[in-house]
Chain A
Amino acid sequence: MEQSLFIAGTAGEGIQTIGDVVAQTFLRHGYHVFTLKEYESRIRGGNSSYRIRVSDRPLNAPRHSADILLALNPRAEDHYAATLVENGQMLGPKNVPFGELADETGGSALYANSVAAGALCAAVGLPFATLKCVLHDAFARKGTEIVSANVSAARAGFAKAQEVIGDQKPESLPLGEAQVSFSSAHETIPLAAAAAGCRFMAAYPMSPSTGIITAFARDPELGVFVEQAEDEIAAINMCLGASAAGARAITATSGGGFALMAEGISLSGMTETPIVILLAQRPGPATGLPTRTAQEDLNFALHAGHGEFARVLLAPSDPQDAIQLTVRAFDLASRYQIPVILLTDQLLADAHFSLPALHLPEELPRETFAEDAPTAEYARYELTEDGLSPRRYLGQGKQIVCIDSDEHTENGHITEDLASIRPAMVEKRLKRKQALMSEMSAPAAYRVEDAELVLIGWGSTRGALTEAVDRLRDAGRAVGLLHFTELWPLPPLNLDPDRRYIVVEGNATGQFASLLRAEAHVPVDTVIGRFDGFPLDAETIVGELS
């Protein structure tokens, strides 16, 4: 069983409320749900939709066509009509008068959202009893009157939709068996960061990253100090100051803000100050499409910051993965004294995934600082075999810590010693990459054993790629998937040269494909890119390969 439901309307009309109620109803009924919000960059008006994909098996990937379209107004009906599959069911003001039914049953047009939720549940075959439970829980704190008004309105919508559908009325869905959690990656990342010992967060609001700072601010018990900076430059410099003074720090932004942080990333590299930077990608260049998704900033994240220094790029694929990689980001940043960039995107910010119960990694590595130096003076940039100097924070004990963005001596003071110190410091900053490479994780392999064609993807596209592989396998194609979440430094790869490799990513120029070709000599055959602002989906991938 797999169904795609779109709730379409204008921003502020209540599609979020309807979508949440219907998604919860499916989840309560034991089904897997994947939801995606799609909206314009405006506060009110425009076209937006809440997309619910429901199935009796895990399927955390978007679908861009609807089996059932519930349109809250005639304009949404027109705008989204093309997304409806042949013989799909349209529910709209023409056949379900949401406002009138709400007024008749609940006593106010305010209950139109519950009418709509009821209609949608009827159209898909969800039993009314499950919906009633969800509504009860959702409105219980507002009192029994509000609960019963919502239930009445939903019942009216439910009955009306059954009447509209008539003979094609679906069988009532049996109770499913899914035992799942339902979350977005941007909801789990702040929790994982706090668990990893993050104490400081400074950021400037920018879609689609704003949820990260908001989550820290909403939950002071996480113990993370939160500051809305005047700009992204201030944000990253505050984080670096905090980190130098011993606090694990994170900032979050999107492409434009990340551009402003570039000098700070370089400062992290030069001063060897750990920092985690979450870069939630959206389509560019410049302002681009603020509320849409893309994987366009890989090259930028890889190269942002002048000069040469080591860095790590991690790209989670779902909320559980995001937990693991967030903890890992803090650990790597700290152990290697470098910037670590977590690449997410609007999909990972807004989409909700059905997953087994979420869990923290077994190990939560803690920050450790060096003991007092045996010498009279502590040398922040002591030259060592592996390039890593014992790290102490500003104000730790009585030994002075000197941190400098200029080229510096081992003691951290400005130097122009080009003969010995400069080359030694350059090598010091770079040589940690060797050790890093050896601990980067290999890509996740899916159905590759006998695959003649191997698809390669990274980050948020895993669900769509997995679904595409399954569909191609069903059609008799020997296809597999290699999916990367640890992008840089690339782990050692030993890919069979006799297979065909196609990289699938959310950009126009094949950024990851170029990286694989240049750095790992992967014989990439072709690249499938999606760059219209929508997330990659199995339908598109399968279509390109047929």
Chain B
Amino acid sequence: MTAFDAYKSLVENQWCPGCPNFGILTALKKALVTLDKLPHEVCLVSGIGQAAKTPHYLSCHVFNGLHGRAIPAAIGIHVANPALTTLVTSGDGCVYGEGGNHLLHAFRRNPDLTVLVHDNRIYALTKGQGSPTTRRGVKTRLQFDGVQIDPSQMLATAIVHDCSFVARGFAGDIEGLASILVRAIGHRGLSLVDILQPCITWGHWSMDQWKDHVITVPSDHDPTDRAAAVSLALETDGAVPVGVLYETAPREPFASSYRARVGSRPMAETPPIERTAVEKRLSRFEIRET
């Protein structure tokens, strides 16, 4: 059994004291321990932002890439080394804003990745501008008269695209979040977990206000019912349902036909094409005599 402390990182944490990101970090470690994953079996991929620093704060493989580009990098890592359990952990600005197009196409590809979106509904690291999930009318350090455009609805969009595991978590409920993450990571195919994470510095709602809004997904909800799942996903401002919204039989994951052909070992451990096979192809350019 993997010990919780196996994931301990000695890197100095740069989050604000009391940030709910700490709760997400704890939940993530708990989930990995529950799944009995060892640190060297896990790769965390992130973009830029406070949430994107998460990979540094637990011990596992890290690819901390560019803002918005965590998903394509994770896809490359996953294809090259399918032995790794690869997760993306980044914020709403990174995954839904700068990298929104990649997420849309990830729904289509269905790579076996888990995407954790630390959704604090604000750009925190750049000090308080509106994010793709900031509500209309909320005043920010840039939208002084209030945000004038509507928030994106990425969970509903994910379900519409038949992303086969879509959940909403809450950073204020570490145990509940950990159990969602266990299911998300265990799911074969793309899993999207939007995690409500109050920003204690720039946020519109405090943790206590959030606690008043969060409800658990009704016990009679059928997670294979796409229409019902979309309805729950669209509940973002009143009583916000937390839990697994949508889960269907996994579709064929990305790169499975390639893997069926070449096996599941890391590319680095399998030999490339033989020299003679390439030479044979080059000889096809030669002109035959009449």
Which residues of chain A have a CB within 8 Å of any CB of chain B? 24, 27-30, 130, 133, 175, 178-183, 187-188, 191-192, 194-200, 202, 219-223, 225, 227, 229-231, 233-235, 237-249, 263-264, 267, 271, 319, 323, 357-360, 364, 367, 369, 393-406, 412-414
Contacts and interface: CB of A to CB of B under 8 A. Distances in A.
A191 B66 CA distance: 31
A65 B77 CA distance: 51
Interface stretch (B38-46, B170-178, B200-208, B237-245): B38-46
7 contacts: A24-B287, A28-B290, A192-B278, A225-B79, A234-B102, A263-B69, A405-B48
A412 B59 CA distance: 12
B84 A267 contact: no
A202 B76 contact: yes
A401 B62 contact: yes
B268 A267 contact: no
Contacts of B84: 245, 394-395
Contact of A405 (B64, B74, B261, B283): B64
B279 interface: yes
Nearest to B98: A233
Contact of A359 (B61, B65, B282): B282
A396 B61 CA distance: 10
Contact of B282 (A191, A198, A225): A191
Interface stretch (B126-134, B135-143, B269-277): B269-277
Interface of B: 11, 14, 38-41, 43, 45, 48, 53, 55-56, 59-66, 69, 71-81, 83-84, 101-102, 104-105, 255, 258, 261-262, 266-270, 272-273, 275, 277-279, 281-283, 285-290
B69 A237 contact: yes
A195 B40 contact: no
State the majority secondary structure of interface residues on A. Answer: mixed
Contacts, number: 227
A24 B285 CA distance: 11
Contacts of B282: 181, 188, 191, 323, 357-360
B89 to A, nearest CB: 14
A371 B84 CA distance: 19
Contacts of A180: 286-287
Contacts of B39: 400
Contact of A404 (B62, B75, B268, B281): B62
Given A200-B80, A413-B56, A238 B75 contact: yes
Given A231-B101, A358-B285, A412-B62, A237 B76 contact: yes
Nearest to B257: A220
Contacts of B290: 28-30, 130, 133, 175
A360 B53 contact: no
Contacts of A239: 76
A221 B277 contact: yes
A376 to B, nearest CB: 11
Contact of A223 (B80, B272, B279): B272
Given A200-B76, A200-B79, A359-B279, 5 more contacts: A241-B74, A245-B80, A263-B66, A414-B53, A414-B64
Contacts of B40: 395, 397-400
Given A237-B76, A242-B76, A360-B275, A401 B258 contact: no
